[in-house]
Amino acid sequence: QVHIVESGGGLVQAGGSLRLSCKVAEYVFSIYAMGWYRQVPGKERELVADISRGGSTNYADSVKGRFTISRDNAKNTIYLQMNSLKPEDTAVYYCKAERVMSGNGMGDYWGQGTQVTVSS
């Protein structure tokens, strides 16, 4: 079993910043891509940003220019720097590790989620 550990959520005022971290807790052979998704009640989970092992990034239009995703391959960790936060960014943020090759074979894994709340 591969565990995804997230941290960094919380409550912040509009215009403020937060930094989320996500780490694959166990030793794995490789990870193709990692990313952050978010979900609000009654809506589908949506991609916020992801990053491949080679460093290619992809962002939702709603966060471009405000959020930055980065990756430390040596630590199997990604970060999401969120600036200029808006109330509509309020959601549970989930980390996903894609095409993880481990002793269990290959699979995708999700974190437990971390709450981000932006007050107006």
Query: Residue 18 above 90 pLDDT?
Result: yes
Query: Residue 65 above 90 pLDDT?
Result: yes
Give how far Cα 74 sits from Cα of 24, 90, 94, Å: 11, 31, 21
Mean pLDDT, residues 82-89: 98
Where would I find the H helices in 13-113? none
pLDDT at 1 (0 to 100):
83
Residue 60 pLDDT level (bands cut at 50, 70, 90)? very high
Mean pLDDT, residues 92-96: 98
Tokens of 34: 């990692």
What mean pLDDT is reported for the chain? 96
